[in-house]
Amino acid sequence: MSDGVEAAVRRVERRQAAEAARARGEQAPSEEDLRDEFHAETRASRQRTYTRAPRRKLTWKDRLKLSGALTVVLVPVLFMGCLIGLGWYDKAHPVTVQCTLTSAEAITITSSSRTVHTSSAAVVIETKPCGRMLIKRGIGFDNNKAVAAKLKPGATYAIEVGSGTYNMREFLGALKMRPEVFTYHRVG
């Protein structure tokens, strides 16, 4: 039986005992005294403290499941956070490298989701020893071919890129990501 039901039963029993005492002509508690007593009991029953059940120790299977679930969730979140943070790091830490241009090509970059399809113009440059890089700043569909034609293969260029993507260019190349060129100019 719950505490509230037990208190109600006790209240009814006290009321009946008080009525029986009054019928015999004895002194009995008044209705207000019974009500106050009932409220005091219900307040006390609400203030009872409950002890926690002892914790069950995790078995090695439980720990394995937990670590697997955390790995599945945390690794992609951390990976995406690092890629987003890499862009901010690049803007704060530019580095200038000298590279010999081997080719330049005007391209269109397309990206799409279910409802949005976007495309932007860029120029991909292939260099020695710096690898493949992407020029997107100041490039539009109206000038990407002209910029690619203006870049001379065999010439040496001072290229400013973000140090994070430049240092990780082999790894990011496997993800089809290229270091973005901030500025460039011909040297010599």
**By residue range, what is the domain housing residue 173?**
93-187
- Identify whether residues 42 and 120 lie together within a single domain: no
Angle between helices 31-46 and 3-23 (to 10 degrees): 160
Helix (H) or strand (E) holding 167: helix 163-167
Does 105 fall in a domain? yes
The answer to the question of residue 137 being in a domain is yes
Q: What is the pLDDT along the chain (188 residues), one digit of tens a residue?
A: 566 677 777 777 878 887 887 788 777 777 777 777 777 776 666 666 667 778 888 888 988 999 999 999 999 999 888 888 888 999 999 999 999 999 999 998 888 777 888 888 999 999 998 999 999 988 989 998 999 999 999 999 999 999 999 998 888 888 888 899 999 999 97
Q: Residue 77: inside a domain, yes or no?
A: no
Is the residue at 13 inside a domain? yes
> Does 35 share its domain with 118?
no
Task: Give me the pLDDT at residue 104, please.
Answer: 93
* CA-angle at 81, arms to 63 and 117, nearest 5°: 120
Q: Is 101 exposed, middle or buried (0-12, 13-18, 19+ CB in 10 A)?
A: buried
Indicate if 105 and 42 belong to the same structural domain.
Answer: no
Type of residue at 136: K
* CA atoms 77, 78, 84, 88: torsion sign: positive
The Cα–Cα gap between 76 and 67 comes to 14
Locus of tokens 């270091």: 179
Q: Tell me, yes or no, whether 56 lies in a domain.
A: no
Domain count, the chain: 2
Decide: pTM greater than 0.85.
no
